[in-house]
């Protein structure tokens, strides 16, 4: 994500000389480059100017601690300013009122219909609330059908009236649905127009939503910012959801929308799948922009997919040395649930810009799986030892060479041995601290990951 801006920022930070303090003079070049990088990434001109001004004020006169490199001190300040600009903390929607009514609005193709389903799934999963969707996009011919398909995918009812042309009638007939949360999908237009604003104003008066959320297509850069501003002026939005943050999205909209509208950024869509949706976190976004991975969402993902109980059980088995092929298979399944190895690796600090070839890792996982599937139940449970005859049979069953089976069995045994030897893996504080010190020595600006 944000490849362009991330790379440019990293280039800027490597220009500092070895002087001990920041001065107006020695940061001139870096500040100018920050400004150009921001403008180039489609950040709103005023927003970029204010941000650069604040960075400059903070940097000049900042004492650089001895153990900190100047580059890291500068990055820390840019990082803090970016976080401030995007709202400091997470600002998620509240669902205390029943029903909580949420109206989604935005231009055509911004991702409103898809976001309805993503949002509904998220609310059900994270807040255990029932959700209904109401189809008010009567302009786009296939919009109702699309919402119905997506609604079925996330198992959420969709209220729609086929052949009705007036969204006000549909809204009125939807009445008070018996549900905790109602999300209204509204029509967009190719561009801003009075007709659309009039339609939304009427719906606002009729529905009296608790939240009016603007869906911003970040792929459209500066345009999304201007559109957000116009929507806010006409119908007073409560906040925004950013979409299309995957792929080659430029960071401009993400950085500017909150500042220009003064309204919070609630969530973000990071892919086409209904599960590609998460709370917008200013710190995580600043990390991604600066090419520091996305530890915040990686940890959230792990917590969501792997229960505490499961991970504790696995750890205990590893320590006792009773870890079996069955356990390994379980662990691989957990990893798969979290997404592709490549996607996960990209969330690690330092990996975002790298052109990764993880196909080896993915295919090795597949081979491992094939080998385990070719074992008997007793072999998987570690009751029957894998003698040569058994290995030959497994190789045949998995369609791989005997050499590959030997290699994998050896790796598995090494893994078990290593786990057993790790002194008190469960409470290996010393080890964790040594690792932390080593990481910090190399990258002092990662300190916040350990806080």
| Residues making contact with ligand GDP (CB under 6 A) | 106, 108-114, 188, 243-244, 246-247, 269-272
CB of 216 to ligand GDP, least distance (A): 10
Minimum distance from residue 247 beta carbon to ligand GDP (Å): 6
Nearest distance, CB of residue 387 and ligand GDP, angstroms: 51
**Residue 92 in contact with residue 98, Cβ under 8 Å?**
no
Instruction: Between 270 and 314, name the residue whose CB sits nearer to ligand GDP.
Output: 270
Specify the residue, 34 or 244, whose C-beta has the smaller distance to ligand GDP: 244
Please report how close the Cβ of residue 109 comes to ligand GDP at its closest, in angstroms: 5
Toward ligand GDP, which CB reaches closer, 139 or 420?
139
The CB-of-428 to ligand GDP minimum distance in angstroms stands at 39
If the CB atoms of residues 128 and 190 are measured against ligand GDP, the closer one turns out to be: 190
Nearer to ligand GDP, 257 or 394 (CB): 257
Sheet order of strands, 211-217 included: 158-159, 131-136, 181-186, 100-105, 211-217, 239-243, 265-269, 277-279
Say how far apart CA 342 and CA 340 lie, in whole Å.
5
Give min distance, CB of 114 to ligand GDP, in A: 3
Minimal distance, residue 76 CB to ligand GDP, in Å:
30
Residues 6+ apart with CB under 8 A from 156: 117, 120, 121, 124, 131, 132, 133
Residue 186, strand partner residues = 136
Between 267 and 446, name the residue whose CB sits nearer to ligand GDP.
267
- SS3 of 183, please? strand
Rounded to whole angstroms, how far apart are CA atoms 225 and 266? Answer: 15
Which of 154, 405 has the CB closer to ligand GDP? 154
The nearest distance, CB 187 to ligand GDP, in angstroms, is: 8
C-alpha span between 132 and 29 (Å, rounded):
53
Name which of 243, 248, 294 is nearest 266 in CA terms: 243
Nearest residue to the partner ligand GDP, using Cβ: 269
Q: Which is nearer to ligand GDP, 271 or 397 (CB)?
A: 271
Query: Residue 330 class from Cβ within 10 Å (0-12 exposed, 13-18 middle, 19+ buried)?
Result: middle
Q: What are the distances in angstroms from CA 36 to CA 5, 42, 50, 134, 254?
A: 10, 10, 13, 44, 17
* Helix pair 359-373, 388-398: axis angle to 10 deg: 120
| Number of Cβ atoms within 10 Å of the Cβ of 292 | 24
User: Residue 295's closest CA among 217, 352, 247?
Assistant: 352
| Minimum distance of ligand GDP from residue 244's CB (angstroms) | 5
CA 387 to each of CA 380, 411, 414, 417: distance values in angstroms, whole numbers, following the listed order: 13, 16, 17, 19
By three-state DSSP, how is residue 348 classified?
A: coil
Nearer to ligand GDP, 135 or 314 (CB): 135
């Amino acid at each position: 994500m944000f490849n362009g801006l991330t790379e440019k920022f990293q280039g800027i930070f490597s220009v500092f000389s070895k002087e001990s303090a920041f001065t107006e003079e020695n940061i001139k070049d870096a500040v100018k480059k920050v400004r150009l990088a921001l403008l180039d990434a489609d950040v709103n001109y005023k927003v970029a100017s204010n941000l650069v001004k604040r960075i400059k004020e903070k940097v000049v006169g900042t004492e650089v601690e001895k153990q900190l490199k100047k580059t890291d001190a500068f990055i820390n300040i840019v990082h803090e300013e970016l976080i401030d600009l995007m709202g400091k903390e997470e600002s998620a929607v509240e669902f205390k009122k029943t029903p909580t009514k949420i109206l989604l609005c935005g231009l055509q193709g911004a991702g409103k219909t898809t976001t309805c389903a993503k949002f509904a799934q998220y609310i059900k999963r994270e807040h255990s609330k029932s959700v209904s969707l109401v189809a008010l996009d009567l302009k786009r011919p296939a919009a109702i059908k699309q919402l119905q398909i997506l609604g079925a995918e996330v198992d959420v009812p969709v209220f729609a009236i086929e052949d009705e042309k007036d969204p006000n009638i549909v809204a009125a007939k939807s009445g008070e649905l018996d549900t905790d949360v109602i999300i209204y999908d509204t029509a967009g237009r190719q561009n801003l127009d009075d007709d659309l604003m009039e339609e939304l104003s009427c719906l606002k008066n009729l529905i009296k939503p608790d939240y009016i959320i603007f869906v911003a297509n970040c792929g459209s850069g500066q345009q999304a910012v201007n559109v957000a501003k116009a929507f806010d002026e006409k119908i007073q939005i409560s906040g925004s959801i950013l979409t299309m943050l995957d792929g080659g999205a430029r960071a401009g909209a993400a950085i500017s929308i909150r500042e220009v509208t003064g309204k919070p950024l609630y969530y973000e869509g990071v892919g086409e799948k209904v599960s590609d949706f998460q709370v917008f976190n200013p710190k995580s976004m600043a990390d991604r922009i600066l090419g520091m991975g996305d530890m915040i969402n990686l940890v959230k993902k792990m917590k969501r997919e792997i229960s505490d109980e499961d991970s504790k059980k696995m750890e205990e088995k590893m320590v006792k040395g009773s870890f079996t092929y069955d356990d390994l298979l379980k662990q691989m399944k957990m990893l798969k649930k979290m997404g592709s190895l490549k996607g996960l690796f990209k969330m690690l600090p330092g990996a975002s810009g790298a052109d990764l070839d993880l196909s080896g890792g993915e295919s090795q996982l597949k081979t491992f799986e094939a080998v385990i599937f070719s074992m008997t139940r007793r072999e998987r449970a570690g009751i029957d030892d894998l003698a040569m005859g058994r290995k030959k049979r497994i190789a045949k069953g998995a369609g791989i060479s005997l050499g590959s089976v030997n290699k994998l069995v050896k790796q598995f045994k090494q893994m078990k041995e290593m786990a057993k030897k790790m002194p008190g893996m469960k409470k290996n504080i010393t080890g964790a601290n040594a690792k932390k010190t080593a990481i910090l020595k190399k990258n002092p600006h990662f300190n916040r990951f350990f806080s």
